[in-house]
Amino acid sequence: MKDRLVFALLIIFIFLSCEKKNKEIVLQSENKINLSENEIIPNEILEQEIDNDNEDKIYDLIMEYEDKVNYSYDSILYIKEIKFGIKNSRNWYVLWTDRDDSTDNELIQTIYLINKNNEIIHKYWFCSAFNPEAINKPDLFEKVAGERYKYIECFVINDFNNDGLDEILFYGPGYAGDENKYFYIENYDILLITPRVLTNFPLCVPFDFNNDFVPIEYCIIDGVSGFKIYTKVENSVSKWFFYTWNEKEKKYLVNKAIKF
């Protein structure tokens, strides 16, 4: 009888030991899975949170700044840090709706210079960007690669001349009674002693949009990259021209060697 009792107790002890061991194995396995997830998945989420949080902070900073100067803008449509080349600051491009334009046909473009202490040290305005949907051309820049606001494609940001800095291509109005519509590029020339910030227009081309094709394309022809634009010339006649970067003039000029 005593032997049976000892044997029963031994069986119970072995069972409990195995059960404990199984729990430890399961727990170790769960810990390994969690550790693996912590090493891979949350890092991606964390990066997204940092990016989103950073843009939110810049958004709040800009709105606070504009509140102090009685801004005339309505709301921010798009905000993005770009490599515009203005030193000693981070360069943020912002696209606004105009408080005085309920149609949103004309959108305001600005560049904010923000230092390492998250302080706005300067702001630049430049030519308004027209909404391509206003001329029934929502796909105006479909043949131009680059960063854009996907809901209203009124601009494209890219390093078109391959100098390591971003340029801003957009469609906008003429000046001083000029009723033409223009393709413009804004950039920042870091080589000038007095930089022509946001006023140099290295590309300024009147174009014809009264057609059923896209009037601008960024492409490579004969090994040279540039803009193929259906350009308005004299007597309302339009022709295709190829505009390529001229390093000496710091502008996109007609490449006369290429004809259509």
Which is higher by pLDDT, 218 or 177? 218
The per-residue pLDDT for 38 is 27
Report the DSSP beta bridge partners of residue 155: 170
Window from 26-30, 130-134, 155-159, 248-252 with minimum mean pLDDT: 26-30
Q: In this predicted structure, what is the pLDDT of residue 147?
A: 95
User: What are the pLDDT digits (tens) for 237-255?
Assistant: 999 999 999 999 889 999 9
* 152 or 193: which leads in pLDDT: 152
Mean pLDDT, to the nearest integer, of 64-79? Answer: 82
Specify the higher pLDDT residue, 125 or 233.
233
Range in 9-13, 57-61, 199-203, 244-248 the model is least confident about: 9-13
> What's this model's pTM, rounded to 2 decimal places?
0.75
Residue 61 has pLDDT above 50, yes or no: yes
Residue with the larger pLDDT of the pair 6 and 119? 119
97: confidence class by pLDDT, cuts 50, 70, 90? confident
Average pLDDT over residues 194-208: 72
11 or 62, which is more confident? 62
Mean pLDDT of the chain: 77
